[in-house]
């Protein structure tokens, strides 16, 4: 039967912050499958108390700081705690605390705490073995280590130790063996420690951020890496270098780089654990100031990443190479190079966000959890023959349901597909849809062809007008000025780019600006690993759905806020028009001598804006106002408050932490590899290339007069003329 060694603490006191101090500690070897009742009996046997006279409450101390810990009262509690001790490194040093209560048989049936007086007697029994840890600053020889390692644990063995030093002592076999080992070891140690002896402080688990004052003989680190990082940090702050004398899986020894200096550290791994115990430390440096440097070899990129990792976690803060170099110089007086700062940022990013390999490995499980948390979600991944990622599509169920209440227009941009590929895909997948062209990109094509600005303005007017007659007039003007441009525009059917010729409602969406806005939102996320980028999108959509749902619920308008603002813009001009009713639905509206016929029943106007936008135009608003009818009654259902609410009525739920995922093995086995691509040398581009057809947004500011639009050499406003300026030459 498998056994486990546990730590039992008793006869102590609880502090206000739930720390258990001034206690007595024993090590107990118990079977892993022990029953709680047998465990209680064994505990009372160990602490030498009569169970008929005393009561005990057992706590599993996990250092919460807010309570005594986990109350152990049945078999399930005990087995759970044993499992944590056995398989989880974070609970390796945890202990069972026994609150001893004396039974008082009176009318109130209450209990009271009683401290037994067996502590001194038990300490006397093991006084010899305790002398092993009394001397802390003297070296432990190889023979001593072999003596301890050769001792085998058989049956149940108990060693009583002072306070919280249980982590530093091995469980020995029996009293004769204890006495023999103690006598042998004590003799060796006392020969070297006749002049000075130091007693260890109570054991606490130290991390890599521990200061030099906290470290003493007997101090315990949670792992070897913590010791390495801890003394590297101490060396950085003290501006000295050390060298590793010996490093293995069971020991770690350091000494100062200057052989004449006495600074040294020695630590050993505690048997059957990952804990490392300091057995020797000399803190004082007596080396020369000439050995202190600003550039230390222990300042590796992985260590620097620990200083900047909190800054990287803040999405509002951009960690640059200059910031890392300046921060290390300012806080620690370290002069690090460009490449070391870059590697530190990459390492810290990998710690927070994971490596590309780790992200793609979890991609299938991530999408599975996305679909389980958000019903109706659609996902699809394409991989090559080597299981390498090609591309992926996914849509949240909330977005799919909300799409049914949105205007039926899809904008496609920022894709590797060319124009013909997009047209082919639309014709194959969306059989009933109509493919249109973004007039902004068509305008950029005209600029690349060096078309005159006058012609470009005519094109913009032709694409945006609502009436076909006006479109024909603008196109005839283009043909008169530039016949080649006219022929180029007519190569694409006007139904694809002109609003007046469109067979379907295009509303006000003549460009793909909505997608460009989304690209701007995702600009920072595009540089993240794939799972972190998807987390960013999920958080962004979750916030948008929440805010817009609250906004829709809080408005008292019959239509959306955007539609309300659009109608308000038309009100002033609409109220200046003359309206002449024809019948109960139709009216004749005059604007600057032009007559428009408005039919409210058909929701139509001779200006065609009412039909294309499905919103009342100024003529329709004037006719509606004449009849004292609500203007929102003549807006399309897409713009009503009910549609707005239904669009965002569902929520987007996060996938949760990976530890909480419940994923079938069939999904876990779908391991996806990162795409096979070669990273080009040099700094990666963060911003898109601005084509020559776009106007430059760079503004020049004079360094002399501080005005915008010119530089120092062309400045004519400063009294002190620049020697190379035009004013000086004139």
Which tens digit of pLDDT belongs to each residue from 85-143? 887 777 777 888 888 876 654 433 333 343 444 444 434 433 333 333 333 333 444 44
What is the reported pTM? Answer: 0.60
Residue 485 has pLDDT above 70, yes or no: yes
Residue 59 has pLDDT above 90, yes or no: no
User: Virtual CA dihedral for 407, 413, 418, 419, nearest 10 degrees?
Assistant: 40
What pLDDT was estimated at residue 65? 66
- For the residues 347-372, what does the mean pLDDT come to? 88
What pLDDT was estimated at residue 306? 76
Residue 431: band (very low, low, confident or very high) from pLDDT cuts 50, 70, 90: confident
What pLDDT was estimated at residue 297? 66
Q: Mind listing the pLDDT tens digit for each residue in 216-238? A: 888 888 888 888 888 888 887 77
C-beta separation of 405 from 692 below 8 A: no
DSSP result, 318-353? ---HHHHHHHHHHHH-----HHHHHHHHHHHHHHHH
Q: Which of the listed ranges 290-294, 314-318, 415-419 does the model predict with the highest average pLDDT?
A: 314-318
What pLDDT was estimated at residue 262? 85
What pLDDT was estimated at residue 543? 93
Residue 392 has pLDDT above 60, yes or no: yes
What pLDDT was estimated at residue 723? 57
What pLDDT was estimated at residue 694? 56
C-beta separation of 356 from 674 below 8 A: yes
User: What angle is formed at CA 569 by the lines to CA 566 and CA 571, rounded to 5 degrees?
Assistant: 110
Which residue has 């779908």 as its token pair?
A: 670
Mean pLDDT, the chain, as a whole number?
A: 78
Query: Strand locations in 111-226, DSSP E?
Result: 111-113, 160-162, 205-206, 220-221
**Residue 457 CB coordination number (10 Å):** 11
Q: How far apart are CA 248 and CA 530, in angstroms?
A: 37
Residue 335 has pLDDT above 70, yes or no: yes
Residue 145 has pLDDT above 50, yes or no: no
What pLDDT was estimated at residue 175? 35
Q: Supply the angle between the helices 321-332 and 338-353 in degrees, to the nearest 10.
A: 100
C-beta separation of 41 from 50 below 8 A: no
Residue 198: band (very low, low, confident or very high) from pLDDT cuts 50, 70, 90: very low
Measuring CA to CA, how many Å separate 493 from each of 103, 181, 271, 422, 489?
Answer: 97, 98, 81, 16, 8
Q: Which two tokens stand for residue 431?
A: 């059989």
Phi-psi sector, 354: left (phi>0), alpha (psi -120 to 50), beta? left
What pLDDT was estimated at residue 51? 78
C-beta separation of 209 from 230 below 8 A: yes
- For the residues 580-605, what does the mean pLDDT come to? 91
Report which of residues 449 and 133 the model is more confident about.
449
User: Virtual CA dihedral for 218, 223, 228, 229, nearest 10 degrees?
Assistant: -110
What pLDDT was estimated at residue 103? 60
What is the distance, to the nearest Å, from the Cα of residue 138 to the centroid of all Cα atoms in its chain? 47
Residue 690 has pLDDT above 70, yes or no: no
User: What angle is formed at CA 285 by the lines to CA 281 and CA 288, rounded to 5 degrees?
Assistant: 150
Residue 443 has pLDDT above 70, yes or no: yes
Q: How far apart are CA 631 and CA 621, in angstroms?
A: 7
Residue 483: band (very low, low, confident or very high) from pLDDT cuts 50, 70, 90: very high
Q: How far apart are CA 91 and CA 82, in angstroms?
A: 10
Q: Indicate the DSSP class of residue 701.
A: B
What pLDDT was estimated at residue 186? 41
Q: How far apart are CA 636 and CA 207, in angstroms?
A: 64
Report which of residues 244 and 179 the model is more confident about.
244
Report which of residues 687 and 407 the model is more confident about.
407
What pLDDT was estimated at residue 191? 41
Residue 579: band (very low, low, confident or very high) from pLDDT cuts 50, 70, 90: very high
Residue 375 has pLDDT above 60, yes or no: yes
**Residue 30 CB coordination number (10 Å):** 18
What pLDDT was estimated at residue 81? 85
- For the residues 23-36, what does the mean pLDDT come to? 84
> Of the ranges 46-60, 366-380, 384-398, which one carries the lowest mean pLDDT score?
46-60
C-beta separation of 47 from 26 below 8 A: yes
What pLDDT was estimated at residue 373? 93
What pLDDT was estimated at residue 169? 33
What pLDDT was estimated at residue 551? 92
Q: Which two tokens stand for residue 132?
A: 């092993």
Q: How far apart are CA 626 and CA 578, in angstroms?
A: 10
For the chain, state the CA radius of gyration.
Answer: 39
Which strand (E) or helix (H) includes residue 44?
helix 36-46
Residue 470: band (very low, low, confident or very high) from pLDDT cuts 50, 70, 90: very high
Measuring CA to CA, how many Å separate 269 from each of 145, 169, 173, 234?
Answer: 11, 11, 21, 21
Residue 293: band (very low, low, confident or very high) from pLDDT cuts 50, 70, 90: low
**Backbone angles phi and psi of 95, in degrees to 5:** -135, 165
Report which of residues 205 and 587 the model is more confident about.
587
Q: Tell me if residue 405 falls in helix, strand or coil.
A: coil
Count CA within 13 A, CB hemisphere, residue 470. 16
What pLDDT was estimated at residue 156? 32
Residue 190: band (very low, low, confident or very high) from pLDDT cuts 50, 70, 90: very low
Phi-psi sector, 288: left (phi>0), alpha (psi -120 to 50), beta? beta
What pLDDT was estimated at residue 728? 43
Report which of residues 104 and 477 the model is more confident about.
477
What pLDDT was estimated at residue 37? 87
What pLDDT was estimated at residue 164? 35
Q: Which of the listed ranges 20-34, 100-114, 280-294 does the model predict with the highest average pLDDT?
A: 20-34
Q: Which two tokens stand for residue 61?
A: 């101390």
Q: Which of the listed ranges 355-359, 676-680, 708-712 does the model predict with the highest average pLDDT?
A: 355-359
Which residue has 């590697």 as its token pair?
A: 343
Query: Strand locations in 384-463, DSSP E?
Result: 389-395
> Of the ranges 161-175, 372-386, 674-688, which one carries the lowest mean pLDDT score?
161-175
């Amino acid at each position: 039967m498998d056994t486990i060694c546990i730590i039992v603490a008793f006869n102590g006191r609880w502090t206000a912050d739930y720390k258990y101090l001034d206690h007595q500690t024993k090590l107990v070897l118990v079977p892993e499958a022990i029953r709680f009742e047998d465990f209680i009996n064994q505990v009372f046997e160990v602490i030498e108390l009569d169970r008929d006279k005393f009561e005990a409450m057992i706590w599993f101390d996990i250092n919460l700081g807010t309570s005594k810990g986990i109350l152990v009262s049945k078999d399930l509690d005990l087995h759970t705690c044993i499992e944590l001790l056995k398989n989880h490194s974070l609970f390796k040093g945890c202990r069972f605390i026994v609150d001893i209560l004396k039974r008082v048989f009176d009318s109130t049936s209450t209990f009271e705490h009683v401290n037994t007086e067996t502590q001194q007697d038990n300490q006397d029994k093991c006084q010899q073995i305790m002398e092993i840890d009394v001397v802390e600053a003297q070296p432990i020889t190889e023979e001593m280590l072999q003596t301890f390692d050769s001792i085998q644990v058989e049956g149940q063995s108990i060693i009583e130790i002072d306070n919280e030093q249980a982590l530093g002592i091995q469980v020995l076999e029996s009293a004769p063996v204890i006495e023999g080992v103690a006598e042998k070891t004590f003799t060796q140690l006392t020969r070297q420690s006749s002049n000075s002896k130091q007693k260890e402080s109570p054991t606490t688990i130290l991390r890599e951020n521990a200061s030099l004052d906290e470290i003493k003989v007997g101090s315990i680190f949670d792992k070897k890496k913590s010791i390495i990082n801890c003394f590297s940090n101490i060396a950085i702050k003290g501006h000295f270098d050390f060298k590793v004398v010996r490093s293995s899986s069971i020991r770690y020894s350091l000494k100062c780089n200057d052989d004449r200096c006495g600074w040294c550290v020695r630590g050993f791994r505690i048997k059957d654990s990952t804990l490392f115990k300091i057995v020797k430390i000399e803190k004082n440096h007596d080396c020369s100031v000439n050995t202190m440097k600003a550039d230390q070899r222990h300042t590796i990129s992985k260590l620097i990443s620990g200083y900047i990792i909190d800054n990287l976690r803040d999405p509002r803060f951009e960690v640059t190479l200059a910031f890392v170099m300046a921060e290390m110089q300012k806080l620690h007086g370290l002069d690090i190079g460009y490449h070391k700062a870059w590697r530190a940022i990459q390492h810290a990013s990998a710690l927070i966000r994971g490596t590309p390999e780790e992200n793609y490995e979890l991609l299938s499980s991530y999408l599975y959890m996305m679909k389980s948390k958000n019903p109706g979600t659609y996902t699809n991944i394409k991989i090559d023959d080597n299981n390498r990622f090609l591309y992926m599509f996914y849509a949240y169920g909330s977005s799919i349901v909300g799409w049914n209440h949105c205007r039926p227009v899809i904008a496609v941009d920022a894709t590797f597909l060319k124009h013909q590929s997009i047209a082919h895909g639309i014709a194959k997948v969306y059989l009933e849809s109509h493919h249109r062209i973004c007039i902004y990109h068509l305008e950029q094509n005209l600029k690349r062809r060096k078309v005159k600005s006058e012609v470009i303005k005519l094109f913009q007017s032709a694409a945006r007008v609502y009436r076909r007659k006006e479109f024909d007039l603008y196109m005839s003007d283009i043909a008169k000025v530039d016949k080649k441009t006219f022929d180029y525009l007519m190569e694409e059917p006007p139904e694809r780019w002109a609003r007046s010729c469109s067979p379907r409602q295009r509303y006000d969406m003549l460009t793909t600006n909505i997608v460009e806005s989304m690209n701007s939102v995702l600009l920072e996320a595009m540089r993240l690993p794939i799972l972190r980028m998807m987390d960013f999108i999920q958080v962004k959509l979750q916030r948008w759905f929440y805010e817009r749902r609250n906004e829709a619920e809080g408005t008292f308008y019959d239509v959306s806020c955007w539609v309300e603002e659009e109608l308000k813009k038309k009100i002033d001009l609409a109220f200046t028009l003359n309206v002449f009713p024809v019948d109960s639905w139709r009216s004749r509206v005059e604007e600057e001598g032009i007559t428009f016929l408005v039919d409210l029943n058909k929701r139509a106007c001779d200006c065609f804006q009412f039909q294309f936008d499905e919103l009342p135009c100024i003529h329709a608003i004037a006719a509606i106002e004449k009849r004292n009818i609500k203007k929102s009654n003549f807006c399309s259902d897409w713009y009503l408050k009910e549609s707005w609410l239904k669009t965002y009525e569902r929520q987007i739920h996060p996938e949760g932490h990976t530890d909480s995922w419940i994923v079938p093995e069939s999904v876990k086995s779908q391991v996806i590899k990162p795409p096979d691509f070669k990273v080009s040398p040099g700094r990666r581009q963060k911003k898109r290339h601005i084509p020559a057809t776009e106007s430059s947004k760079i503004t020049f500011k004079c360094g002399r007069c501080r005005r915008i639009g010119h530089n120092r050499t062309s400045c004519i406003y400063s009294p002190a003329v620049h020697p190379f300026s035009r004013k000086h030459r004139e």
